[in-house]
Chains A and B, each alone.
Chain A
């Protein structure tokens, strides 16, 4: 099989000292930002993006991917010990992880999370290894209309399946599309949405949008809720390992969660929220100990945490083979590709096999590194939770300004980032999802290109979108996702909200 030869070549490259070092840096930084409350992978990559011009593309992507999946490992620590899940994917982990830590079983909870992440990471990277070349081969026959339909599908599913309201998700998406349109029209050179400002002629850099929405918005929110909030970190005692009875209970949830995470991650359904809650509900339904769920069932940590980690490799499938990001972090990795003038898509496997396979091999290596730096060193990572919050969020603001300033040294762009940051703050308060805005801003110009290319080929005839079976199928699927899964999303959304609410009620009762 060609795949094995390709993968072996990838490993040969990935084992070079330089790439091993890059992978180690990536997963260490990733774990760090995963542990730090309020800092996620999307924000970290946005801040690091301007600093990667000096790296070769393979090295930069190994670091970026390492930060992405490393942060998923680190996020479990914060969820379990602080009950403050940093992102949607680790909310389900906190439901049973925090009660476990409260009752003195934080060690086994962390061990389950780390070892489950590892199991799922390996399963899903294997999935990526075998699925990605297949999808890439299929995608060679895709035409402009298919790409257009695929991106519409990505828009719709990211908006409809993530977050609680389709209207607010769509507003966020369309605001992103608007930002993507600012600048000169690529075909005619006409100014669009520049409002007479020469600064806007070249468009708004996506890094400014990401730093504004994630770094500045999140840090302002963190600082603003600081005075009224109290948090209780649970000290970790005893073994960080699993005993025989625990091992027996967790391995099946790991495998199920890993499969769910990979399958849902690789469809354009937007990341990890859906598979983690699906995994939690599945484990709760089929467990012999279902009465323990919500009070510290170890399966409730094992399944979702595995699903969360597996969704990463899933997300890499549409990103690498179709050039379509389905999470905010993937969108930033896509813009890193674009900085290097590499267009992910079916040709990537033909044109840059070295890059693809070295990256995939480094995912295996990185997961092994992560279990090594997480299990023995977990007590060290926990120390990071003691960083004073006021200082932490202030530093995020300073890094954000530094990131924008090092791009352009322009006061206007810094002020635009601040304005976007204040918008981002209010998006958090009024529960507007941030990811659709980022994906809209990055994919918007690509959608327009494919749309106009398709219409140029058909000489302005819109019927091309209704004659090709694949295009029609994808567009129908998009409509179905908008219309049908208000049912599905309501089921998942409501049950997850219900779970969080129940958990909070319980805690309110416990703590006077």
Chain B
């Protein structure tokens, strides 16, 4: 049985299993990903914070910044986010946080990026397919696809689980809980 070795999760997954090279890089904090990943994250956070501050100013101009007016808390949150994002950017560039760099690079080593992006893409396709295909078909297909993308090769098991799960949820929600899930192209059959 290969089940148990199929995967791992936990707060301490990465450092334990890294090969020697990755572990060495982690300790020195020199991994390219470990250095640039947090910088990119900081820039994105700063951009988001800028949008929030901009909109907070707009809210305040429209409704007022006074104690009982709608602009007070948004401007506090907007300024706070920008200041914190700048502080984080400083901690990733000028005064680098070694601890974060080490953690980020070991986490980045542990992640299989193609799996992440393909599964995330499949998830969004699944969301769009729910109504046209119907809950049962879309869910069964997604379960088979996502397990395959994550490296599972137990096709028969995954297809069985996918189809049975989708059917049970659809029938249970429709007939027991009274929640309508989309029937889609199987509308007349179920």
Within 8 A of B (CB), among A220-242: 220-231, 233
Q: Chain A residues with Cβ under 8 A from B127's Cβ?
A: 401, 411, 414-415, 418
Q: Let me know if B81 and A178 touch, CB within 8 A.
A: yes
A462 at the interface (CB under 8 A from B): yes
B12 at the interface (CB under 8 A from A): yes
The distance in angstroms between the C-alpha atoms of A402 and B179, with both chains bound, is: 11
Within 8 A of B (CB), among A82-111: 82-88, 91, 94
Interface centre among B77, B116, B169 (most CB of A within 10 A): B77
A37 at the interface (CB under 8 A from B): yes
B111 at the interface (CB under 8 A from A): yes
Within 8 A of A (CB), among B6-61: 6-17, 37-38, 41, 45, 52, 55-56, 59
Within 8 A of B (CB), among A361-399: 385-391, 393-395, 397-398
Q: Let me know if B107 and A431 touch, CB within 8 A.
A: yes
Within 8 A of B (CB), among A138-194: 164-165, 167-168, 170-171, 174-175, 177-178, 181, 185, 187-188, 190, 192-193
The distance in angstroms between the C-alpha atoms of A85 and B11, with both chains bound, is: 6
Q: Which of A55-63, A309-317, A421-429 contacts B (4 or more CB under 8 A)?
A: A421-429
A75 to chain B, nearest CB (A): 11
The distance in angstroms between the C-alpha atoms of A344 and B62, with both chains bound, is: 35
A340 at the interface (CB under 8 A from B): no
Which of A38, A171, A188, A226 lies in contact with B63, CB distance below 8 A?
A188
Within 8 A of A (CB), among B105-139: 107-113, 115-116, 119-120, 123-124, 126-128, 130-131, 139
Q: Which of A14-22, A278-286, A450-458 contacts B (4 or more CB under 8 A)?
A: A450-458
CB closest residue in chain A, given B139: A398
Q: Let me know if B7 and A398 touch, CB within 8 A.
A: no
Q: Let me know if B10 and A83 touch, CB within 8 A.
A: yes
Q: Let me know if B55 and A193 touch, CB within 8 A.
A: yes
**Interface of chain A: mostly helix, strand, loop or mixed:** helix
Q: Let me know if A37 and B10 touch, CB within 8 A.
A: yes
Q: Which of A114-122, A288-296, A500-508 contacts B (4 or more CB under 8 A)?
A: A500-508
Within 8 A of B (CB), among A233-290: 233
Q: Let me know if B77 and A389 touch, CB within 8 A.
A: no
The distance in angstroms between the C-alpha atoms of A220 and B150, with both chains bound, is: 10
The distance in angstroms between the C-alpha atoms of A221 and B10, with both chains bound, is: 10
The distance in angstroms between the C-alpha atoms of A134 and B124, with both chains bound, is: 50
CB closest residue in chain A, given B86: A167
Q: Let me know if B115 and A226 touch, CB within 8 A.
A: yes
Q: Chain B residues with Cβ under 8 A from A227's Cβ?
A: 112, 115, 150-151
Q: Let me know if A418 and B111 touch, CB within 8 A.
A: no
Q: Let me know if A225 and B104 touch, CB within 8 A.
A: no
Q: Let me know if A398 and B142 touch, CB within 8 A.
A: yes
Which of B59, B88, B143, B157 lies in contact with A171, CB distance below 8 A?
B88
8 A-B Cβ contacts within 8 A?
Answer: A187-B68, A190-B70, A192-B74, A220-B119, A393-B7, A398-B165, A431-B103, A501-B15
Interface centre among A185, A385, A501 (most CB of B within 10 A): A185
The distance in angstroms between the C-alpha atoms of A167 and B80, with both chains bound, is: 11
Given A226-B6, A390-B150, A409-B180, the answer on whether A402 and B169 have CB atoms closer than 8 Å is yes
Q: Let me know if B52 and A167 touch, CB within 8 A.
A: no
B69 at the interface (CB under 8 A from A): yes
Q: Let me know if B55 and A422 touch, CB within 8 A.
A: no
A476 at the interface (CB under 8 A from B): no
B68 to chain A, nearest CB (A): 6
Q: Let me know if B131 and A389 touch, CB within 8 A.
A: no
The distance in angstroms between the C-alpha atoms of A256 and B157, with both chains bound, is: 48
Within 8 A of A (CB), among B139-167: 139, 142-143, 146-147, 149-152, 154, 157-158, 161, 165
Q: Chain B residues with Cβ under 8 A from A448's Cβ?
A: 73
Q: Let me know if B77 and A411 touch, CB within 8 A.
A: no
The distance in angstroms between the C-alpha atoms of A429 and B100, with both chains bound, is: 10
A337 at the interface (CB under 8 A from B): no
Which of A181, A231, A422, A431 lies in contact with B4, CB distance below 8 A?
A231
B42 to chain A, nearest CB (A): 9
Residues of chain B at the chain A interface (Cβ within 8 Å): 1, 3-17, 37-38, 41, 45, 52, 55-56, 59, 62-63, 66-70, 72-74, 77, 80-81, 84-85, 87-88, 91, 97, 99-100, 103-104, 107-113, 115-116, 119-120, 123-124, 126-128, 130-131, 139, 142-143, 146-147, 149-152, 154, 157-158, 161, 165, 169, 173, 177, 179-182
Within 8 A of B (CB), among A33-56: 37-38, 51, 54
Counting contact residues on chain A (CB < 8 A from B), the size range is 35 or more
Interface centre among B6, B72, B80, B110 (most CB of A within 10 A): B6
Q: Chain A residues with Cβ under 8 A from B161's Cβ?
A: 391
Q: Let me know if B38 and A430 touch, CB within 8 A.
A: yes
The distance in angstroms between the C-alpha atoms of A174 and B76, with both chains bound, is: 10
The distance in angstroms between the C-alpha atoms of A7 and B169, with both chains bound, is: 40
Q: Let me know if A230 and B116 touch, CB within 8 A.
A: no
Known: A192-B59, A430-B100, A460-B66. 17 other contacts (CB 8 A): A165-B100, A170-B80, A171-B81, A178-B52, A178-B77, A190-B62, A223-B119, A224-B119, A228-B112, A229-B7, A229-B13, A230-B8, A389-B9, A390-B146, A398-B142, A426-B41, A431-B107
CB closest residue in chain A, given B177: A51
Q: Chain A residues with Cβ under 8 A from B111's Cβ?
A: 221, 224-225, 228, 429
Q: Chain B residues with Cβ under 8 A from A192's Cβ?
A: 59, 70, 74
Q: Let me know if B16 and A225 touch, CB within 8 A.
A: no
B137 to chain A, nearest CB (A): 13
Which of B13, B14, B81, B146 lies in contact with A223, CB distance below 8 A?
B146
A130 at the interface (CB under 8 A from B): no
Given A51-B177, A84-B12, the answer on whether A229 and B55 have CB atoms closer than 8 Å is no
A195 at the interface (CB under 8 A from B): yes
The distance in angstroms between the C-alpha atoms of A393 and B1, with both chains bound, is: 19
A209 at the interface (CB under 8 A from B): no
The distance in angstroms between the C-alpha atoms of A221 and B12, with both chains bound, is: 13
A124 to chain B, nearest CB (A): 24
Given A431-B100, A460-B67, the answer on whether A226 and B37 have CB atoms closer than 8 Å is no
Given A225-B111, A394-B147, the answer on whether A233 and B4 have CB atoms closer than 8 Å is yes
Q: Let me know if B8 and A84 touch, CB within 8 A.
A: yes
The distance in angstroms between the C-alpha atoms of A448 and B104, with both chains bound, is: 35
